[in-house]
Amino acid sequence: MEKELRDAVKKAALEYYQKTHAVKKQKVYIPASGKCLDEEDLSNMIDATLDMWLTAGRFNDEFEKRFADFLGVKHALTTNSGSSANLLALTALTSHKLGERRLKKGDEVITVAAGFPTTVNPIIQNGLTPVFADVDLKTHNISAEQIEEAITPKTKAVFVAHTLGNPFNLGEILPICQKHNLWLIEDSCDALGAKYDGKYTGTIGHIGTFSFYPAHHITMGEGGALCTNDTQLYRIIMSFRDWGRDCWCKPGVDNTCKNRFNMQLGKLPFGYDHKYTYSHIGYNLKITDWQAACALSQLKKLEGFVAKRKANFALLLEGLKPFEKYFILPEHEPKAEPSWFGLLLTVKEDAGFNKIELCKYLEEHGIGTRQLFAGNLLRQPAFTENDIALRIKNSSLLNSRDLNEEHYAMLPNTDKVMNGSFWVGVWPGLTEEDISKTIKTFQDFLSSKNK
């Protein structure tokens, strides 16, 4: 009876979906990003709702397994956002369980200022020192040469993103990290499905992070994940995610270690319940099974989503090629296979117009635009109005509140990104007609400037 009732509910939901959400509506505005949901996603979410299991459960277990299998890694762990994934990845490296390799207050982590703030925020939140390198204007990724220049005896990690799904130069950066015994965290929140030298991004460094926000390659609403091949790091990440507890049992499960009442940890009495023993100053950053159910359905469609992004990107790039005199168009490393999040353009300084003029025109004519997130994070109020210790490339220690134009000039390409770079959409919900309209709108703007 239960199965019949469950099937009836899901059938009714399918009919509802087909009569409401499946109805195609003509686009007046072409957004830069969006989600692609279907009746299978809805069915899975309803299935999870009928379980009335309100935290992570069977759908989450299945998603973590399938996600790890897809990436070809030992371990995958879900969390409530890509930003939380970044926080957990960096915080895990501060664990006492890592011995001499743990990150301690004042240690340095190399990153970039041209990107999303939650790649950098965990460095500051953990009392570490961010060291900012510049980016290349063709890939918009970190310069490998500048990583070498920025390393000091205090440098312990590199934490950077694959910008808009375009892999950074792992062929040079990974050997640098190995040479100097540095941790490498790959922020792949915008790059799910991208590859470098045949391997998925996020699987090449020590920890990879992913986001499942609606704008990303697959979605569960709010949500994210981490992956690693290191079992110790996996358990440390899980501990920080799950209140800081030492126990790695799943909710509703006890005594996985078969030693629950036979341990002596900290200064607790011998045999204190391992399920309530805490080894880290942690959080609660788990997801619900409802979210996992959506992501599990989405994962089946990921390869198709990535293929559509690549096709849309290729069409858009081909249409914009004739305008190279005005723009720096995106490129990728020879061994990189991007999974494009958007098509990033930089308006050249001699173009005869500026980025703001163009973005306003595009938006007014129904084409969505987005900045490369913070532009130059060091110019954001979060830095100019607070006292944050940092370095820029090979500088001495600086205070963010005291930075001036001479300091910003040490990251010239980052300022060029802030002033000249923006991106437009290539997500799977866009059609060839949408891409054509986007190209035509660029053409109309440029024609109006050349009259």
Return the active site residues: 216
Residues near 180 by beta carbon (within 8 Å), at least 6 away in sequence: 151, 155
Distance of CA 333 to the CA centre of its chain: 19
CA distances from 240 to 26, 104, 279 (A): 46, 16, 9
Query: Among candidates 316, 300, 397, which has minimal Cα distance to 66?
Result: 300
DSSP 77: E
DSSP 258: S
> What span, in angstroms and rounded, lies between the C-alpha atoms of 80 and 87?
11
What secondary structure does DSSP assign to 359-411, as a single string?
Answer: HHHHHHTTB--EESTTSSGGGSHHHHTS--EEEETT---EEGGG--HHHHTTS
DSSP SS3 for 336: strand
Residues near 184 by beta carbon (within 8 Å), at least 6 away in sequence: 157, 158, 159, 173, 174, 177, 204, 205, 206
For the chain, the first-to-last Cα distance in angstroms comes to 73
Q: Is 252 left (phi over 0), alpha (psi -120 to 50) or beta?
A: left
Q: What is the CA radius of gyration of the chain?
A: 23
Query: Among candidates 286, 292, 300, 291, which has minimal Cα distance to 62?
Result: 292
> What span, in angstroms and rounded, lies between the C-alpha atoms of 56 and 371?
34
> What span, in angstroms and rounded, lies between the C-alpha atoms of 338 and 193?
8
> What span, in angstroms and rounded, lies between the C-alpha atoms of 321 and 1?
61
- Paired tokens of 271: 């045999």
Beta partners for 35? none
Q: Are 111 and 303 in contact (CB under 8 A)?
A: no
